[in-house]
């Protein structure tokens, strides 16, 4: 899986775009996928802190892990 495929799946699963960032950074209360030199990092950004930071060598592994986190968290769905 790559970032483009992940984005497509997140849209299909009705995951709210404010619940995540695929571009790194420190958004307010969101899951983050960040590319660093030679590896990928997934973490939860909250009040300027990174929690649950996990590193991956492969983009696909990082994307799969983020997808799993977002699907398990019922608060990430779009509100209707």
pLDDT of 79 reads 75
pLDDT of 5 reads 98
pTM: 0.94
Taking only the tens place, the pLDDT of each residue in 2-22 is: 999 999 999 999 999 999 999
Taking only the tens place, the pLDDT of each residue in 18-68 is: 999 999 999 999 999 999 999 999 999 999 899 999 999 999 999 999 999
The phi and psi torsions of 46 (rounded to 5 degrees) equal -150, 120
pLDDT of 80 reads 67
CA distance 56 to 34: 10
């Amino acid at each position: 899986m790559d970032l483009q495929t992940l984005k497509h799946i997140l849209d299909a699963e009705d995951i709210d775009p404010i619940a995540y960032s695929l571009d790194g950074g420190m958004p307010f209360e969101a899951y983050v996928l960040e590319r660093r030199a030679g590896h990928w990092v997934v973490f939860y950004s909250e009040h300027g802190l990174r929690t649950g930071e996990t590193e991956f060598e492969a983009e696909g592994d990082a994307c799969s892990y983020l997808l799993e986190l977002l699907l398990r968290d019922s608060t990430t769905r779009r509100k209707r």
